Homo-oligomer: A and B are copies of this chain.
Amino acid sequence: MAKREALPEETVTASRVIYEGRKANLRVDTVRLRNGRTSEREILEHGDVAAVVPLDDDGCIIMVEQYRLAAEGVMLEIPAGMIDAGESAEDGAQRELAEETGMHAESLVKLADFYVSPGISTEVIHVFLAEGLQPAEASADDDEDIVVRKVPLSTAVLMAERGEFNDAKTVIGVLLAARSQRLLR
């Protein structure tokens, strides 16, 4: 994660907790800006996420389809989930890969990490390319209904360009995985 130093920080003068929940907390901070004015910042406190582009020996990526209530529809995404307390991003990626697709990766390479929405959320997604896939022992999350789909990486790139993935981590994972495989021309 490349932090940049240039502007002075906003100064937090007050902070109130609105909600402490299962996957996220919400707080509202009062900040003093450089110009002396005061503003409020709503901050969703959300743990880090590990996401995986699982690339098999046939050049296909293993994707998951699931209903997303926030999007009110079924979405086709790369496997991902929240990193547990005390778990590394790599271990979280392997665990989510096993839980959602039943596979284990011999090789994991970091493709990117990014804030999903730095104006409001602390959520960072760490995206890995996973290769050398082997069947893993795993049990699925009991509150996720997931269907696994194989998509050739070259097809996935075209889908990303045509706007057929509507999920940030999936667009980024597919495009960077294709770049790493020198598939993008």
Give the B-binding residues of A (Cβ under 8 A): 1-10, 12, 18-19, 21-24, 26, 28-29, 31, 33-35, 37, 39-44, 46, 65-71, 73-77, 110-125, 142-143, 145, 147, 160-161, 163-169, 171-172, 175-176, 179, 184-185
State whether A65 and B4 are in contact (beta carbons under 8 Å apart), knowing that A117-B121, A184-B179 are contacts in the complex.
yes
Q: Which residues of B contact A120 (CB under 8 A)?
A: 23-24, 44, 46, 70, 123
Do B112 and A171 have beta carbons less than 8 Å apart?
A: yes
Q: Which residue in B5, B42, B117, B176 is a CB contact (below 8 Å) of A161? A: B176
Q: Would B22 and A42 count as touching, CB distance under 8 A? A: yes
Q: Which residues of B contact A167 (CB under 8 A)?
A: 114-115, 118
Q: How far is the CA of A176 from the CA of B174 in the complex (A)?
A: 12
A92 to chain B, nearest CB (A): 14
Q: Which residues of B contact A166 (CB under 8 A)?
A: 1-2, 113-115, 118, 124
20 pairs from A and B in contact (CB 8 Å cutoff):
A4-B75, A7-B66, A7-B147, A21-B28, A21-B42, A22-B42, A24-B44, A26-B44, A37-B142, A41-B70, A44-B120, A68-B119, A70-B117, A70-B119, A70-B121, A110-B163, A114-B168, A115-B168, A116-B121, A121-B121
The binding surface of chain A is classed by DSSP as: mixed
Shortest beta-carbon contacts, A-B, top 7 = A168-B168, A39-B143, A68-B118, A116-B116, A3-B73, A71-B118, A4-B74
Q: Is the CB of A145 within 8 A of B33?
A: yes
Contact assessment for A116 and B42 in the assembled complex, using a CB-CB cutoff below 8 Å: no
